Amino acid sequence: MKNYSKVTVKAGARTELHDLLGLTGAEISVNELPAGAGVPFVHAHKENEEIYGILAGEGKAVLDGETVTLKEGDWVRVAPATKRQFFAGEKTGIRYICIQVKEGSLQNYTASDAVL
């Protein structure tokens, strides 16, 4: 059995990688909204923070009622209880990655988790 998983994500509205990659500590999704579109609901989480990375385009997020503009290269961390909703720009779509992990669970990372 291999110690890694690989998938190719094609353009599309939403691809969740949890099952495709056999993830055990995170959920990752790749999302795409066409110009003028938005996620049709406001939501928050019980335990998981989300990290959003804007891969292409522009848009906005409404986070606890505050509008935050987003463009390619931006990264945003959102605490679990934050009410959130995402929108593409009026003239351009937006493509973004969302990484969802349990808040406060990271103990070691990079060099402190490495075995040399």
Asked if residue 7 is part of any domain, the answer here is no
CA separation for the pair 102, 91 (Å, rounded): 35
Q: Indicate the number of domains in the chain.
A: 1
Asked if residue 80 is part of any domain, the answer here is yes
Q: pLDDT tens per residue, the chain (116 residues)?
A: 689 999 999 888 889 999 999 999 999 999 999 999 999 999 999 999 999 999 999 999 999 999 999 999 999 999 999 999 999 999 999 999 999 999 999 898 888 899 98
CB 81 within 8 A of CB 42: no
Give the structural domain span for 31.
Answer: 14-104
CATH, residue 71? 2.60.120.10
* Global confidence as pTM: 0.90
Chain centroid to Cα 26, Å, comes to 11
CA separation for the pair 43, 105 (Å, rounded): 22
Asked if residue 38 is part of any domain, the answer here is yes
Asked if residue 2 is part of any domain, the answer here is no
Asked if residue 89 is part of any domain, the answer here is yes
Asked if residue 35 is part of any domain, the answer here is yes
